[in-house]
Amino acid sequence: MTAYADFYQRSIAQPEAFWKEQAGLIEWFKQPEQICDYSNPPFANWYKGGTTNLCHNAVDRHLKDRANQPAVVFVSTETNTEKTYNFRQLHTEVQCMAAILQEMGVQKGDRVLIYMPMIAEALFAMLACARIGAIHSVVFGGFASGSLASRIDDAAPRVVITADAGSRAGKIVPYTPLLKEAVALAATKPESILIIDRGLSTIDLGALRAVDYTAARQKHLNSEVPCAHLDATDISYTLYTSGTTGKPKGVQRDTGGYAVALAASMKYIFDCKPGQVYFATSDIGWVVGHSYIVYGPLIAGMTTLFYEGTPVRGMDGSADGGIWWSLVEKYKVTHMFSAPTAIRVLKKQDPAYLTKYDLSSLQALFLAGEPVDEPTARWIAAGINKPVIDNYWQTETGWPILATANGGGLSGFKPQFGSPGVPMYGYKLKLVHESTGEELKGHGEKGVVVIEGPLPPGAMQTVWGDDARFVNTYWKSIPGQMVYSTFDWGIRDANGYFTILGRTDDVINVAGHRLGTREIEESIAAHPNVAEVAVVGVADQLKGQVAMAFAVAKDASKLGDANERLKLEGEIMKLVDGNLGAVARPSRVYFVTLLPKTRSGKLLRRAIQAICEGRDTGDLATLDDPAPLLQIKELVSVK
């Protein structure tokens, strides 16, 4: 066994030797000539001169030893569908999808936007893009047209891949009308649409050029499309993450560094082995879906369970709080990855579901996406009698920053309730004072979690199309030094374990979805009767956080009437739904006469949040007028 502390220290003290060793976890067409080029900080180029391919490492290299092993198990409780693809069949389907894209004109470096439900064809599409060197950009299926349009404009995709509809808890969500409207709104138009018809909804694409996937698949089913030899530094994908402005921020990922980082994480953090079964309950619209539904498990030679459905709906459409555990039993799942929100949903179900099924195959349940409260973690750990392992990371990093690594012969740090763990290898983590930049080395001192450059392999290269935004957003927020800011508060205990306390910026986390409060504010402010608005994230037992809005009306003459207030609140919520999607909808919109501000005119969002959560508002020395806070306190206290 190797002590994790020594393993970590080697990654920091001898990064070139350490990451050269980890490069042996994947297959290369050409070995790298330089492990890390950091000649232009903060831009890191990992494995320069090397060539490889994510699809080759996820699919082709396994054909020799495990062609007949299940690679993908697709399960949909929405359509009562279960289908298994072994590695040979996956290889066939991915080549077919790649051939279709090539016939549609897609070449290396072209962008392909994937706007899909959680169906197997979405996974084929991602791997097919990786195979031919196209850059995929996955947008969560069902995103509102306005948000989708902004991503189409930013990515400028040659092709969009979509389906007629998705389904959530039995409710059909037609995609094609949303896509048609988004393309109409976008200044940049895709050349064509590849459409998968599931038979769930009428296809409504208007005059857009569409290619039917079923017919195209018949034509190309026996096509052979070799994996492109891609530079390690070539872009694999972009994935949009909400920020503090309305402009979408495309996290740009490389190829070689990402493949190595995922292979290493599967070995050391998740303790995975070929032939085991990985079940991540996320969606490919989020980074967990990229790293730990599609690429990570397949690179590791595992079976990945690809799931469309909710935690509480069975195959026959009836309520079933044990559906996930039944799948663990049926498919002998060894590793499960979910979010605290999902566990809180299960907490409302009959606890008998947790012991109804045989979970003997399951080694651990991993949780991430938002901080997990200790009572919830303890509840699920006791209920399934399995280790529950928290981990912390971001879309930007692509794999865990904080965790406990006990795979690959490592030992020394065990999971600890209430903490996501200790810094992972390659991450030079510090806590610093937000205003002075001074490093905080004391135990229990609250500071901003930052990472010294270079970021390790697998982390973002830059913001797509905007190097200046990458530098200014992430690397220049701490005074006096160039370090990557996570924009999260944290503390460290005497044993080196970190606890994440929440965001330092105006981004909130709703059920694992990171949303910029300013995006929501901009949407609400578009209402003709809204003069000013503040949105805060408020702690919620189920979702982690919910958005709550406080608006000043331009014309408040009718708002003394409760029905008029409800009418205006409904209009605002509908507006947010249309612009950003239902996940961004505030839980409440309160109408106030003034918003609390500092003397310099800055909104005191943290004070608003504290009142909403029943906490002390802290130092209000900069408050210009206490009346707005008193009004907010009175409003939120009324049940």
pLDDT in tens, 499-544: 988 777 666 777 777 676 767 887 898 899 988 889 999 988 888 8
Q: What average pLDDT does range 601-605 have in this prediction?
A: 71
Report d(CA 322, CA 304) in Å as an integer.
20
Both structure tokens of 339: 């979010």
Give the domain 84-223 fold: Rossmann fold (3.40.50)
pLDDT in tens, 110-147: 999 999 999 999 999 999 999 999 999 999 898 889 88
pLDDT for the residue 602: 60
DSSP bridge pairs for 533? 551
pLDDT for the residue 551: 93
Give the domain 507-637 fold: GMP Synthetase; Chain A, domain 3 (3.30.300)
Both structure tokens of 331: 């498919």
Report d(CA 402, CA 420) in Å as an integer.
6
- Residue 246, pLDDT > 70, answer no
pLDDT for the residue 632: 94
Alpha helices (H) in 412-505, listed in sequence order: 467-474
Mean pLDDT of the chain: 93
Report d(CA 198, CA 181) in Å as an integer.
21
Give 201 or 517, the one with higher predicted confidence: 201
Residue-range domain boundaries for the chain: 84-223, 430-503, 507-637
pLDDT for the residue 639: 54
pLDDT in tens, 539-580: 888 888 899 999 999 899 999 999 999 999 999 999 998 888
Instruction: Specify the pTM.
Output: 0.86
For the domain covering 430-503, report its CATH number.
Answer: 2.30.38.10
> What string of DSSP letters covers 514-561?
EEEHHHHHHHHHTSTTEEEEEEEEEEETTTEEEEEEEEEES--TTTTS
Above pLDDT 70, what percent of the chain?
Answer: 96
